[in-house]
Structure 1
Amino acid sequence: MAITKKYLKSKPICKVTFELDGLGDADSIVAVGNFNNWDTKATPLKKYKNGKFKVTVDLEKDNSYEFKYLVDGNYINDEQADEYRWNDFAASDNSVINL
């Protein structure tokens, strides 16, 4: 798992790339979080021939975003998250990215 942040000089935006490796047997992975209102269809990761899944999203900088990955119907956190935050609704931690 990897998170790459690329800040734009011309806009208050950060291009965030979510990449997962080693889940080549997965059929679908979606990034869900408060950046897309936890929509389970809005931000799918593309599966590449090398087995990696990847998606890049534009997020406003100077914010924190909670998220998880939905892997074939199961939620998982990112090991490379900046921090983790407890969520009472889900009764589990969410991954957090700070920009």
Structure 2
Amino acid sequence: MPINKQFLKSRPEVKVTFAVEKVAAEGAEQVLLLGEFNQWQPIELKRMKSGEFKATLNLPTDGPSHFEYCYQLVHSDGESRYDNDWAADAYVPGPFGRDNSVVRVDT
């Protein structure tokens, strides 16, 4: 699950593309991104023809140096589970007994 970052010169932001590869999605019908950057409100990732899921967000660089996030994989039968980004910048213990992924936004 790669993340790609592009630091913007014109604004104090970094454009971050979150991606969940087909194999990591494990047959999920829907993938949601939840993170500190939007008060843990789900953002649906777009399913690509390749089976990969992607979303691009602009995150501020003039605040915290990093944000925690995770993915929610939703299957067609309604079953869901949470997973971390395999390529996160780091991992930190979360409040529900599992780690959260970390994306660093400092330069």
TM over 0.5: yes
Q: Which residue of 1 aligns with 2:87?
A: 80
TM-score norm. by structure 1 comes to: 0.90
- 1:25, distance to aligned residue in structure 2 (A): 2.3
Q: Which residue of 2 aligns with 1:19?
A: 19
Partners of 1:13 and 1:5 in 2: CA distance: 10
Residues 48-94 of structure 1, C-alpha deviations (whole Å, 9 max, x = no match): 1111110000101252000000111210001111111112x211111
3-state SS of paired residue (1:78) = coil
CA RMSD of aligned residues (A): 1.3
Are residues 24 and 76 of structure 1, via their aligned partners in 2, closer, same or farther at CA, if it must alter by over 3 Å? closer
- 1:24, distance to aligned residue in structure 2 (A): 6.6
Task: Letter of the 1:57 partner, please give it.
Answer: L
Task: Letter of the 2:84 partner, please give it.
Answer: N
Give identity over the alignment, percent: 39
Q: Which residue of 2 aligns with 1:91?
A: 97
On the 8 A contact 1:3/1:17 being kept in 2, the answer is yes
User: Structure 2: 5+ residue runs without aligned partners?
Assistant: 75-79
Partners of 1:17 and 1:68 in 2: CA distance: 14
Q: Which residue of 1 aligns with 2:38?
A: 36
3-state SS of paired residue (1:35) = helix
Partners of 2:35 and 2:87 in 1: CA distance: 16
- List structure 1 segments (4+ residues) > 4 angstroms apart after TM superposition: none
On the 8 A contact 1:24/1:52 being kept in 2, the answer is no
